[in-house]
C-alpha cells in the first residue's frame, strides 16, 4: 500500500482497502511457521495529513485469525484490531541521527523517515498486526489447561490425577537419610 506524498496537502487523505495476507511477507511467515492462521484479508483505514514539516498517518488495521490456546491446545477464532499513529519526516535515518542530540518526546518515538514521492505503508501495517498477535494465546482468561499427568482438558472435564503441586527444588533429597 503506497501513499503519494504529493496528494497529501492540508486536507486529510482517507484510504480504505483490503489486501490478502499473502501480500505481507511477515504475516505469511507467521502463518507458515504455525503461529496462527489468518482466516480473512487484512482490512485497514488510513488517514494521512500534512502537519508543518511532517506527515501524520493514523490508521486502524484488523484481520480475523485462528490461534491455538497455549494452555489447553484448542483452536479458537479471534481478530486483531489495532490503531496506530506514525509521523513521517522527509530525510534519511543518517540525517536524523546527525541532528543535535535532544531528549526524545512521544512524537519522536513514533517517527519514521521517508524519501521520494511515495511512502510504502505495507511494513507498518504488517508490523501492527504482528505486534498484536499474542505470544501465549489464551482461549479465555480462566482457561484451566491440560492435566500434566494424563492430558485431560480441564475445561471439558476432570480427571483422577493428583493435583498436589510437586516442588522439584528438593525432590532429589526426598529419600535422603542421615546415618548417625
- Note the pLDDT tens digit of each residue in 53-72: 788 889 999 999 999 999 99
Residue length, the chain? 180
Give yes or no for residue 21 having a pLDDT over 80: yes
CA distance 21 to 13: 24
CA torsion angle for 32, 36, 37, 38 (degrees, to 10)?
A: -110
How confident is the prediction for the chain on average, in pLDDT?
83
pLDDT the model gives residue 172: 77
CA torsion angle for 106, 107, 111, 114 (degrees, to 10)?
A: -170
The three cell numbers of residue 126 are 504488517
pLDDT the model gives residue 38: 95
Please give the average per-residue pLDDT across 77-82, as a whole number. Answer: 94
In this structure, is the dihedral angle defined by the CA atoms of residues 126, 131, 135 and 137, taken in order, positive or negative? negative
Higher pLDDT, 104 or 50: 50
Higher pLDDT, 178 or 137: 137
Give yes or no for residue 33 having a pLDDT over 60: yes
Does this model's pTM top 0.75? My answer is no
Give yes or no for residue 96 having a pLDDT over 80: no
Question: Residue 106's CB: how many other CB atoms inside 10 A?
Answer: 9
pLDDT the model gives residue 42: 94
Dihedrals phi, psi of 175, to nearest 5 degrees: -100, 15
Please give the average per-residue pLDDT across 30-45, as a whole number. Answer: 93
| Pairing label, strands 54-68, 37-38 | antiparallel
CA distance 65 to 57: 25
Q: First and final CA of the chain: distance in angstroms?
A: 79
pLDDT the model gives residue 110: 62
Amino acid at each position: 500500500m503506497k501513499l503519494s506524498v504529493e496528494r497529501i496537502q492540508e486536507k486529510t487523505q482517507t484510504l480504505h482497502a483490503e489486501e490478502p495476507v499473502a501480500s505481507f511477507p511477515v504475516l505469511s511467515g507467521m502463518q507458515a511457521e504455525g503461529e496462527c492462521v489468518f482466516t480473512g484479508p487484512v482490512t485497514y483505514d488510513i488517514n494521512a495529513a500534512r502537519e508543518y514539516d511532517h506527515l501524520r498517518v493514523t490508521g486502524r488495521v484488523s484481520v480475523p485469525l485462528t490461534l491455538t490456546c497455549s494452555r489447553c491446545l484448542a483452536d479458537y477464532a479471534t481478530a486483531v484490531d489495532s490503531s496506530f499513529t506514525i509521523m513521517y519526516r522527509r530525510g534519511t535515518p543518517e540525517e536524523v541521527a546527525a541532528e543535535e542530540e535532544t531528549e526524545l518526546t512521544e512524537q519522536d518515538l513514533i517517527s519514521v523517515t521517508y524519501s521520494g514521492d511515495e511512502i510504502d505503508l505495507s511494513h507498518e501495517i504488517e508490523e501492527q498486526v504482528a505486534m498484536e498477535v499474542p505470544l501465549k494465546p489464551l482461549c479465555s482468561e480462566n482457561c484451566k489447561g491440560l492435566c500434566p499427568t494424563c492430558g485431560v482438558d480441564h475445561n471439558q472435564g476432570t480427571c483422577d490425577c493428583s493435583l498436589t503441586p510437586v516442588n522439584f527444588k528438593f525432590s532429589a533429597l526426598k529419600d535422603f537419610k542421615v546415618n548417625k
